[in-house]
Structure 1
């Protein structure tokens, strides 16, 4: 579809031509306008917004740009009205100098580029000629020597007039001043130029008139017409009746462009039948040969050799025309003329050109496939295969080239992009022609990918196990739980927090805290292994993208036991700070069980293993102490030399580092007879036994027994009256010995996981007997219960004892 709009202006007009109004891809079809040259600056050519169909209100935001190809910036676009106006006067003769080729319109090629979204409109502006130049001769004075023997009808070449205007405004005809001997003959050259030849109408008589003064007028075809004049002076010479003749009137030669200097093009040959100086020939270019041709080729005046002396460029001139005359050296020289036509053969001497019309240097990594990144135009000044150009990009890139129109390509996204894999692409465009050898050029563009939040934070491990020693300081650093996010900027900034949950009705956030910036995990309280042994919760890392992405990790806190509990001696029981007194008969045998020391430790495993040692002993040969079960036995029988009173200090030490210990002091008194003795440890209490072994010292024995009985009664009374010190309250849910300690350890159950307490024991207290029972099921611990003194140890009494069981 073709649309033409003509706008009348004073003495001028503007033609608007739309060619192929449809749009194909990014580059639009060509829109052509036609204006005369020399329009005033500021003159409006057309309204591009109206003609091309885009909204004027969005021009400032869309960054409209006018790109003039291979020329100065003669025009500009008004970004407020969309009008295309003249920025600088356009001289058609300067912009499109006249060449030898057939007339072609003078076109100014423009690209109108709009962004957001990207659109390109191809505009051609045809500059039409006006008659602003008058014809002028290259020589204002022409002198001709014509022999009087010249025959009527002979033609003499004259300097032609040139007019830089074209077509109807160019050179049209010549007029010769009135005379009876000469007339003007007008000829047209291959480039349309008008040449005038002086024709002899009537024979000359030098004796009648030796000089003829003529005026030659050149007139163009403009309205109004313009003209120029030159004077012709004809001198009549004496007879030289034979003129040189060329063997051919027209020579046709093919020459390759860029031929080296001094390359022989053609050797002319002209002959003259005269003799002497009238037969000596000199070659020269006539005035019909253009100055451009004479700059490129040289003519030897003596030999007639035509050689290359300048650069031959096919893209500038495809054909040269030479007019050559051969003139003899007679007194009245005669000349002959010929025409040489040189056709230039193209070689691949121009590199292909690549022009980036538009390019987005940065895009988001999640851009849709098919998005246009750049618009590229390619060209080559050569012709044929030498001017056929192919465009390629480097391989293994997620981009593709699509041809949008002749000489235009678009670069589009062809695969999914990932900034975390490749953050920057170097895209090299390579243009290659099809000449032999081919020529190529390239240009590299750098494309950067902008990050989007498409990666969730990633922890290096899915499960963290953190060991914490009990009795830690509140606020101590436990570990650093950090994640990694390959995104950038705010998409990479991570915030850490603990996923809220409750443990034993206590919020996890009251036990632990995490630094939201670096993932450092802190303990908010001091942990006690005897109360809590492990915690299991989740930590979540969340980035700052929009929308944010997150991931979590499981954290397992394991509390490590520390030797922080001192062993407690529960048997034989004695008031704090007091000394335990025991009475044994001196007649005991070897291996007699004097007492059994039992200590418990609230710690676990190695820290709760108790060993017993004598700290002080009056006679190391008399008593032995089992380091594992705490049994004190006699190593031999008493002799009369042994003292009656012994002091034993036993220390119970745990297996921790550093080790903790407790001591008990036992004072042993030996008597001949005792009222009460203990058998070896059993689950049943021993009944009182009265020894009646009468001997010769019966009176002494009865007295001693009475005395010891009195002492025993006094000691019991004193112990009854003594008020025990209150014990510290035991924390709730603590895996330790629970005792009110108001008067005794009665009505309490002592639990320990130590295997050394597997045996049974019985110890006397002020209120009853202490019994260590068998281990509870599955090794959960051992129970120590108290019984009243008056109650016998039976199955029934065992069930009535107060018992507290705490599992490991």
Structure 2
């Protein structure tokens, strides 16, 4: 591409050299180009996108733009090819005046992310302005009497260009009277004038016409001319002469009107009117000077009459003339240089060039938030501006290039702590006193999803009564999210799991928005006592955050289950009980036992028994245990009693309201020979299968007799052995812990925590030995009965089921001289019971001791437990014996006994065993 202006090949070469000088510098992150002024529209300046390292495809998406605080329309960028070109006419003189350096400062801003580049385009001067004089014609007056070398000052020409292009050379048209005096080396004084070389003769030459030509140093050269009309005056011998040809004065800007600048003084050696001097500004003075200053024609005082602004003009050159009042007035000349001094009269200005708002709270440190431009029209220290930011904010100002600051993120943001910042930027200059200005901006912090919903508690306990209506509201969970908008929009859901064979969602549900938890179906305490699950709270952010809370729903029991009667000998519910009772039984004889269970818990399952009096019937000879359910006689039966007794037992729980069930017991009174023999367990009405009635047959009698005979023989042999042997300590050897076994007289168990020794006859007593015996028809018949039989020791049986008490059975346990408290909230299989001795009980044990005696509920048996003494010789009363509410004691020791008495006792024992 070729450009030409002016004329000749030299101009083309100059433009080409300027274009080849366009460079890019990496220092300080700045690009520099050079371009001549006055080039055509579209002139190539540089490949700015390529030099900045930007891809052409990202210029438009990243909002590539060029900002200039000088003239934004001079240069433009083609976004298709990334080329910087000239958009409009560039006149260096209009842009920079007579400044030696002239540059266009551009700020290239791209977003996403925000980047700022500084570009400087230097505008080179070309010789496009010819030298010009203030006027095309100048009138000069000179007396014919002037001596040779008289000087007539001239106003020089001016050139808007700079450098070589403004280097002026003057030439005068050929003449014989005057020569041209070149300017001096002082840049403040032009010093151009005419020197008289030949005496003048007004009569011969009254007027002289000269042409003054000025030529600049540019290529091609440009010239300017002015016509000089010199009028030769008649002689006025002496012209006014000033004290100094050059006056220099410094004047502060902004001085008020009427301020004295300087007083010039001239003198004239003539007398009279030829010596009177009148002062005036030269006709060549610029209009700007005339508008700012005034000279007193009489005194020569120059005063201020306009606004003096350093930023408008830094110095003024005033040409003063002094004329005398002669008929042919003569004049003198001087120059006054007024240098304007700067004062700090301009406040700094701030401008936000680019803002990237709002800023996300997870924005990385060092991100540029805004670009700030500051300026001050003053010069020197008065124009040096520094910026400061509001303290204690997570931002800082970073100086970039020529009064540009970047607002940069300096520390991490947290919208939940502070959601917006009001930033105040203060610009202060270096003057004295300094001037300052502020600019503020609100920086809003945009939310990101960095907070999970939080519950007030990690776990909640909820109590719900069973049999609730379906869909009832049982609890409300609430989670708080510190974020905003969709990041704080919390939804709730169940954390699904299995509850037994069913899904959790079949029991409860949670409303996604309100967090209300609903029970979808009636809850049953007997099915589920504790329903534990988790509710999840999750926000709507991307990615979503969530947390869980645990709900423990305790299903409270209600009295919704009636007592259920159990048939004797089974675990099933049954109908009426049929019992046979001898006419000869006495008071306190246990006939049977009514057993019932309740599926509820606590007091709702605590059962009591009550015998209902039938309408029209006489007083019944039977009673029922309040908590045991045992039906026993209140007195001895007689012939007046009806042979068939129909007893109606009311079973009632302790719920509110109480629920009841009734059991019918049919009691038949028969003679003693008509009552079949049964085991003691059946008479006690316990729950084990061994308690059922059995038929007496001859085979059983034979077996019992054989076993009893074997036992008698064993005892005889053992007694003989003990009588012949010397008793020694340790005759009872330690034995292996024995399994639980049962016999006709009860159930035996040995403690396995300590290895005990079980001995019969004379020997060491045992500790931790417990026996549970059912009630027997007559305990007096068994006072001398041996404690164990061969059958019971040889054939271990299932433990007595009565040891697994139901809630109603446990409620009737009464230790001797104490009380038994049922467990609060205990259900059917609960085994927690408290045994207490009443006050004043002499048998109450101290701490860590066992009581001496227990009475087993439902049985007349007394259990005696003694701790093992240190003395190995002990009498037989230390054995566990059975009796009706008393201990059977044997206090006498005999090495030799009455054989007849022993046979009688053995015979009685055998008979008792056969009856059982």
TM-score by length of structure 2 reads: 0.63
Distance 1:332 1:207 in 2: 15
Change in CA separation of 1:415 and 1:227 when aligned onto 2, cut-off 3 Å: closer
Does structure 1 residue 21 correspond to structure 2 residue 25?
yes
Provide the secondary structure at the position in 1 that maps to 2:168: strand
Does structure 1 residue 185 correspond to structure 2 residue 181?
yes
CA contact (8 A) 2:316 2:338 kept: yes
Distance 2:589 2:363 in 1: 94
Q: Which residue of 2 aligns with 1:283?
A: 279
Q: Which residue of 1 aligns with 2:47?
A: 47
Distance 1:193 1:62 in 2: 56
Q: Which residue of 2 aligns with 1:604?
A: 601
Change in CA separation of 1:653 and 1:306 when aligned onto 2, cut-off 3 Å: farther
Provide the secondary structure at the position in 1 that maps to 2:76: strand
Provide the secondary structure at the position in 1 that maps to 2:832: helix
Change in CA separation of 1:307 and 1:659 when aligned onto 2, cut-off 3 Å: farther
Change in CA separation of 1:621 and 1:145 when aligned onto 2, cut-off 3 Å: farther
Q: Which residue of 1 aligns with 2:832?
A: 778
Distance 1:230 1:187 in 2: 17
How many residues align structurally?
693
Cα deviation per residue 1:90-147 (whole Å; 9 max; x = unaligned)? 122322334xxxx513322222334455544433323333343444433334333332
Q: Which residue of 2 aligns with 1:12?
A: 15
Q: Which residue of 2 aligns with 1:398?
A: 394
Question: Displacement, 1:614?
Answer: 11
Does structure 1 residue 386 correspond to structure 2 residue 389?
no
Distance 2:807 2:684 in 1: 28
Q: Which residue of 2 aligns with 1:31?
A: 32
Q: Which residue of 1 aligns with 2:807?
A: 753
CA contact (8 A) 2:355 2:370 kept: yes
Distance 1:23 1:217 in 2: 47
Distance 1:458 1:466 in 2: 19
Q: Which structure is higher in helix share?
A: 2
Q: Which residue of 2 aligns with 1:145?
A: 141
Q: Which residue of 2 aligns with 1:237?
A: 233
CA contact (8 A) 2:66 2:108 kept: yes
Change in CA separation of 1:260 and 1:490 when aligned onto 2, cut-off 3 Å: same
Q: Which residue of 2 aligns with 1:562?
A: 558
Cα deviation per residue 1:197-253 (whole Å; 9 max; x = unaligned)? 343333333333434444444444444444444443333333322222222332222
Distance 2:23 2:403 in 1: 17
CA contact (8 A) 1:158 1:197 kept: yes
Q: Which residue of 1 aligns with 2:782?
A: none
Change in CA separation of 1:676 and 1:78 when aligned onto 2, cut-off 3 Å: same
Q: 1:302 aligns with which of 298, 301, 310?
A: 298
Distance 1:334 1:593 in 2: 167
CA contact (8 A) 2:348 2:435 kept: yes
Q: Which residue of 2 aligns with 1:720?
A: none
Change in CA separation of 1:414 and 1:179 when aligned onto 2, cut-off 3 Å: closer
Distance 2:857 2:169 in 1: 140
Question: Displacement, 1:194?
Answer: 5.9
Question: Displacement, 1:325?
Answer: 1.9
Q: Which residue of 2 aligns with 1:90?
A: 90
Q: Which residue of 1 aligns with 2:774?
A: none
Change in CA separation of 1:190 and 1:621 when aligned onto 2, cut-off 3 Å: farther
Provide the secondary structure at the position in 2 that maps to 1:76: strand
Distance 1:57 1:8 in 2: 38
Distance 2:663 2:610 in 1: 11
TM-score by length of structure 1 reads: 0.70
Does structure 1 residue 341 correspond to structure 2 residue 337?
yes
Distance 1:654 1:330 in 2: 150
Superposed, which structure 2 residues align to 1:59-458 within 5 Å? 59-98=59-98, 104-116=100-112, 118-170=114-166, 172-187=168-183, 196-287=192-283, 289-404=285-400, 407-458=403-454
Provide the secondary structure at the position in 1 that maps to 2:444: strand
Change in CA separation of 1:783 and 1:527 when aligned onto 2, cut-off 3 Å: farther
Change in CA separation of 1:484 and 1:8 when aligned onto 2, cut-off 3 Å: farther
Distance 2:684 2:627 in 1: 24
Question: Displacement, 1:517?
Answer: 4.4
Provide the secondary structure at the position in 2 that maps to 1:12: helix
Cα deviation per residue 1:14-65 (whole Å; 9 max; x = unaligned)? 33546783344xxx1351313232x121222222245455443433334322
Distance 1:228 1:340 in 2: 26
Q: Which residue of 1 aligns with 2:741?
A: none
Superposed, which structure 2 residues align to 1:494-573 within 5 Å? 494-566=490-562
Distance 1:396 1:335 in 2: 72
Distance 2:367 2:283 in 1: 61
Distance 1:610 1:128 in 2: 115
Q: Could you tell me which runs of 5 or more consecutive residues in structure 1 were left unpaired when the two chains were aligned.
A: 1-6, 583-589, 636-646, 688-746, 761-773, 785-808
Question: Displacement, 1:384?
Answer: 3.5
CA contact (8 A) 2:108 2:116 kept: yes
CA contact (8 A) 2:628 2:812 kept: no
Provide the secondary structure at the position in 1 that maps to 2:558: coil
Distance 1:51 1:630 in 2: 106
Cα deviation per residue 1:268-322 (whole Å; 9 max; x = unaligned)? 2222233332232222222564433333332222222222223333344333332
CA contact (8 A) 2:30 2:120 kept: no
Change in CA separation of 1:159 and 1:757 when aligned onto 2, cut-off 3 Å: closer
Distance 1:388 1:776 in 2: 93
Distance 2:857 2:829 in 1: 7
Distance 1:686 1:194 in 2: 147
Change in CA separation of 1:180 and 1:262 when aligned onto 2, cut-off 3 Å: same
Provide the secondary structure at the position in 2 that maps to 1:777: coil
Distance 1:356 1:554 in 2: 53
Change in CA separation of 1:775 and 1:471 when aligned onto 2, cut-off 3 Å: closer
Change in CA separation of 1:337 and 1:191 when aligned onto 2, cut-off 3 Å: same
Q: Which residue of 2 aligns with 1:482?
A: 478
Report the more deviating stretch, 306-315 or 87-96.
Answer: 306-315
Question: Displacement, 1:684?
Answer: 7.8
Provide the secondary structure at the position in 2 that maps to 1:253: strand
Change in CA separation of 1:189 and 1:627 when aligned onto 2, cut-off 3 Å: farther
Provide the secondary structure at the position in 2 that maps to 1:61: coil
Q: Which residue of 2 aligns with 1:764?
A: none
Distance 1:592 1:619 in 2: 25
CA contact (8 A) 2:608 2:808 kept: no
Change in CA separation of 1:188 and 1:752 when aligned onto 2, cut-off 3 Å: farther
Change in CA separation of 1:171 and 1:367 when aligned onto 2, cut-off 3 Å: closer
Distance 2:57 2:202 in 1: 82
Change in CA separation of 1:193 and 1:475 when aligned onto 2, cut-off 3 Å: farther
Distance 1:472 1:754 in 2: 28
- RMSD in angstroms over aligned alpha carbons? 5.3
Distance 2:237 2:507 in 1: 131
Change in CA separation of 1:67 and 1:491 when aligned onto 2, cut-off 3 Å: same
Change in CA separation of 1:279 and 1:193 when aligned onto 2, cut-off 3 Å: closer
Provide the secondary structure at the position in 1 that maps to 2:480: coil
CA contact (8 A) 1:616 1:650 kept: no
Change in CA separation of 1:510 and 1:579 when aligned onto 2, cut-off 3 Å: closer
